Structure 1
């Protein structure tokens, strides 16, 4: 199974664009489900109004991802009246759909952990203080460390230390990804307004078939050519 990370963003667009992102996100997730593609929302930055989304990053996993994303990556247009500014004259709103390069996630191998046995402190009397049962574990590449003294067994504390390091490194990966998505969003501030990959219209977000649009353009070109010949 292949994986991709897709970001849908309003860029520097106004509140209406964040509204469009929220609506398009629902359509995008529905199509993923219909195509039997698994997804996980990695990060979502809500807009300033309820029901709006400034940016969202989704990890997708499945077959034929390239074919699926080919129908989504690029500029997405919505033709409709603003729900926030009903008398606003603008009718065309644009958002962007991008593929994000995923940074390599850190994984913990035991040979990358530095262990140190130290004396336990706290309740337990003199016996606890004499036995070096507590474990300090440090993940060398990140510097993340934990101190475990849950058990009087050094072996058990070592197992717990590895589990807690794994949890902390997972949190570290999550924060790194969030920062990456934020940077990607900043890189995608400028949304191209022309040549949309998809066009939706109206409050029900009905998709406009681009082939029909191209057909209309061809017919118009034929009419213009006939006028020139005449």
Structure 2
């Protein structure tokens, strides 16, 4: 698996899960290494909000490139013989979204447009965050080597958030989803302005 996209629904889902946005580092004994050596893996996680209908994101026709192609299938009668898959490219930002989950090109286009608007919205939010980070000297971009949290399985067990210092030695529980303490620690530190030199929320420029 190279990438996964999924939806999370629930009260304050984006407000909580935005704390997970960044690079996560895993240290373990690789099951694929006959010499049982430790290996380090990285995963970049992005979190984008699903926009409500009352949030407007304008996409001009001249800024959009639309490509259609045949979606993949299991073969035989299930192969889609029409160009129902959609790939949208937003030329000003370079953001690309592809959808082929529906058999209808119209449904795929509608879903792709919704995803594209959400990504453009997040792109603009990122731009604002980068402006704030330059102002405060913070380094918060998603990039290899700048992990927000490490999960160490060997030679000891520890999950540690590098932004807040929150730790948990019960690594199996954390990997099974017990991340609420990390999220709460992040939100608290963010509100207090103690994340990587960040200013308190009420003092940050709009």
Q: What is the TM-score when the length of structure 2 is the normalising length? A: 0.36
* Higher RCO (CA < 8 A, seq sep 6+): 1
| Higher strand fraction (1 or 2) | 1
Bigger share in helix: 1
Q: Which has the larger radius of gyration?
A: 1
TM-score normalized by the length of structure 1: 0.32
